[in-house]
Structure 1
Amino acid sequence: MTIEQLNAKYKLTGQLEFIVGKGGLPMIQVNSAKAKALVSIHAGQVLSYQPVGEPEDVMFLSEKAYYQDGKAIKGGAPICWPWFGADPEGKGPGHGFVRNRAWNVVATEAMTNGDVKVTLGLIDTPDTREIWPQSFSLQQEIIIGESLNLSLITRNTGKEKFSITQAFHTYFKVGDIARTKVLGLENCEYIDKAGGSNAQKQQSGAVTIESEVDRIYLDVGNTLTIADSALNRHIQITSQGTKTAVVWNPWEKISKEMADLEDADYQRLLCVETTNAANDVVEVVPGGECRLTADYRVIRS
């Protein structure tokens, strides 16, 4: 659909409209009484979320991000699906194939409580079946209000069961990584992926970032908090449908090596990801579905 067609069918006057974004990509701009947000239809990805009254965006978005077909957008809340990390079969792209292609607009809704709901979707095509030979319907429900609520719903429309891993690979904006902590993972076991070690360790105290961090935390609770003293705020992350979480910061060397990051971006971003990763594999039977949900809320300290 063209921007004009999308607006004719799905625009919510005074709250939501479709615009041409960077790289010519179609995007959804939300300006409601509760929050501002920007959603890219390419990748089905929330790029920006800022509640009314908050001086800073909740999300980090790289100034050097790619905006083109076949490329992932560095920042916001990328979707990793139907696998997190490397393709188990060794054929497809890292973190799956839905974060670098166009999604479809399914619905928009002005909810009675003042929230705005956007539903995006993907179904299998001959192209996706060459990468992953399964029949599926994937939808993301995005609810923009005093919090940002994301739900990823996987439906098996085929005749055979399949297994997935997945994630909201969300990039949060922080004021200073040296003054940022993650609460809620104390004493959890984690797989340390930094440097390719894959050693299993135990978290002691709050998570602080002093070097490259790439960890899959196991058997986590459903509430984590980013304590950001530089921006004087806490971001509360509440999840459902998950037993694992990932904490990632590229640190200086990798930040410099990544063409779609500024050299110093590691100082102002932190990924705390709601995941089904490592041993947290989800099996979806024919006709069945699974739901992964993350809710992000700013709490002033």
Structure 2
Amino acid sequence: MAMAKPYIQQCKGNNGLDKYVLKEARGSSVEVYLYGAHVTSWKNDRGEELLFLSRKSLFEPPNRIRGGIPICFPQVGGLENYENHGFVRKLFWAIDQSPPPLEESNSYRTFVDLVLKPPEGFYKYWPQTYEFRLRVALTPGGDLILVSRIRNINRNGKPFTFTFAFYAYFSVSDICEVRVEGLETYYYLDNLKNKERCTDQGDSLTFESEIDRSYVGTPNKIAIIDHEKRRTYVLWKEGMPDAVVWNPWDKKAKAIADFGDDEYKRMLCVAPAVIEEPLKLKPGEEWTGSLVISCVPSSYCSGELDPKKILHG
């Protein structure tokens, strides 16, 4: 039987919202909504969902979508007079008909390009002029690639600063059976303790209670190891030196309207980000940040994570 060809399909999603489905020949797939340029699904070649999406998630603009991979811009967290985690996840994006070329695009052929320009009325929230381009790609091996490009097109000669995150919600078997490697020994801002600076002492990060941390100056590779499902998510990031780790645990989960009371057990947010030192773009300047996520079978012991073995073994 001939193997199916990769394809890209535009269709209607929840509540009639437009979305694009990317599918590779071996069966892996990605779904991205034009609302928020929001990736809501990433499945491997066995059809297993790799991202977490709350069963209570609202697909009703201007509400946010809870789960998947929302984009935080122009800030991560909440600032006075600004929407918490930014406003681009609540705007409708368009297909980018003529995106500038990307050098790394020779590693895949299944992708969609989205673009966002500030709509009328949004200058009151953030009085800057910008172009925000996002490429969502799927490799033949099933890796998910996100490439963000933000350009300052202010005509008044003024620069602007921003923070950013790909706020990825991963599906896990049991949060108590998960560990994260790559962040140990790096200091973090504890958002549960008024951004107190702390440092991990263990050889990996495990979870027993609510966590909300912003790790600073992290390595380009982070691994999420799910013991029960015997698989590892490997995150390769460029242009984003920081990383947020979040799980609301039981009490906070019950207080979140669009989040199930027990769903904290099956999700973990690890978000490549720019937080500690906001980026500053002069007019005409562009910033690029990229994320490649692989999901591979694994049963490694703490401290024995070999990226070459994981990616090619």
TM-score normalised by structure 2 residue count: 0.87
Task: Summarize the Cα distance change of 1:297–1:14 in structure 2 as closer, same or farther, 3 Å threshold.
Answer: closer
The alpha carbon displacement at 1:114 in A equals 5.4
- Please name the residue that 1:61 is paired with: 53
- Kept in 1: contact 2:6–2:25 (CA 8 A): no
**CA 1:117–1:14 in structure 2 vs 1: closer, same or farther (change >3 Å)?**
closer
Q: Which residue of 2 aligns with 1:290?
A: 287
Aligned match of 1:99: 89
The aligned length equals 283
Q: Does 1:17 align with 2:15?
A: no
Mapping for residues 75-86 of structure 1, pairs under 5 Å: 75-86=67-78
Deviation, structure 1 residue 184: 0.2
Q: Could you list the runs of 5+ residues in structure 1 that have no partner in the other structure?
A: 1-12
| Counterpart position of 2:210 | 212
* Shift of residue 72, structure 1, vs aligned partner: 1.0
Q: Contact between 1:108 and 1:117, CA under 8 Å: does it hold in 2?
A: no
1:131 aligned residue: 125
Any residues of structure 2 matched to 1:164-243 within 5 Å, and which? 164-194=162-192, 196-205=193-202, 206-243=204-241
Structure 1 residue aligned with 2:39: 46
Q: Choose from 63, 70, 75 the match for 2:62.
A: 70
Give the aligned partner of residue 114 of structure 2: 120
Look up the equivalent residue of 1:63 and give its one-letter code: R
Report the AA paired with residue 155 of structure 1.
Answer: R
**CA deviation after TM superposition for structure 1 residue 14, in Å:** 6.0
Q: 1:113 to 1:247 in 2, by over 3 A?
A: closer
Gaps of 5+ in 2: 100-104, 299-313
Could you tell me whether the CA contact under 8 Å between 1:237 and 1:295 is conserved in 2?
Answer: yes
| Cα deviations by residue, 1:137-187 (Å, 9 ceiling, x for unpaired) | 001111112210111110000121100001000100001100000100110
The CA distance in 2 between the partners of 1:179 and 1:244, in whole Å, is 24
Change (3 A) 1:108 1:295: farther
- Calculate the aligned-residue CA RMSD, in Å: 1.7
TM normalised by structure 1 equals 0.90
* Aligned partner (choices 135, 146, 152) of residue 141 of structure 1: 135
Distance 1:30 1:166 in 2: 25
Residues 114 and 276 (structure 1), Cα distance of their counterparts in 2 relative to 1, 3 Å cut:
closer
